[in-house]
């Protein structure tokens, strides 16, 4: 997708309790930092605010997760384009620029945002499987 098709770029570092978020609107070079708790209600409110703020235009969202509760919650929204990144990519990027190897969730959200903004041409947008395929995958994993 061309760059101009996104109203904003978002990096999300997820965890089971909270999600650290780094957001950059297309018309601004400033990075906005925030934290959202890991509840369906809070995530829904945050997404509703994004939809209203960017008038339903497409936003690109980068995360280290390719499956799980956050991804399944976000893939139901048609204006969010997901870009999953391998966690090792983020770790190596962090190590390259932070020799101390200090890890911080907000820093990782900023790294995800930077990967999305500067290296989007090397990332692939994620398209979810059909509900039937997801169900089959769960059964196969369980087995």
Region of residue 101 (left: phi > 0; alpha: psi -120 to 50; beta: else): left
Q: Which residue has the tokens 């570092």?
A: 13
Q: Encode the chain (143 residues) as per-residue pLDDT tens digits.
A: 444 589 999 999 987 788 899 999 998 889 999 999 888 899 999 999 999 999 999 999 999 876 667 777 888 888 999 999 988 888 888 888 777 766 767 888 999 999 999 988 888 887 766 667 667 766 776 65
Rg (CA), the chain: 15
pLDDT of residue 38: 85
Question: What is the widest separation between alpha-carbon atoms in the chain?
Answer: 48
Query: 62, 11 in Cβ contact below 8 A?
Result: yes
Nearest-angstrom CA–CA distance, 122 and 108: 18
CA 123 to mean position of chain CA atoms: 12
Number of C-beta neighbours around residue 29 at 10 A:
7
Query: 134, 17 in Cβ contact below 8 A?
Result: no
* 98 CB-near residues (< 8 Å, 6+ apart): 107
């Amino acid at each position: 997708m061309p760059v101009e098709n996104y109203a904003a770029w978002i990096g999300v570092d997820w965890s089971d309790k909270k999600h650290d978020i780094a957001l950059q609107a297309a018309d601004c070079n400033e990075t906005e930092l925030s934290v959202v708790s890991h509840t369906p209600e809070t995530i829904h409110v945050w997404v509703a605010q994004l939809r209203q703020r960017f008038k339903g235009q497409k936003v690109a969202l980068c995360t280290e997760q390719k499956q799980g509760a956050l991804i399944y919650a976000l893939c139901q929204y048609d204006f969010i384009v997901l870009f999953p990144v391998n966690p090792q990519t983020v770790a190596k990027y962090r190590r390259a620029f932070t020799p101390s190897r200090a890890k911080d969730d907000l820093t990782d959200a900023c790294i995800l945002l930077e990967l999305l903004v500067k290296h989007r041409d090397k990332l692939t947008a994620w398209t979810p499987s059909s509900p039937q395929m997801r169900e089959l995958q769960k059964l196969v994993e369980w087995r």
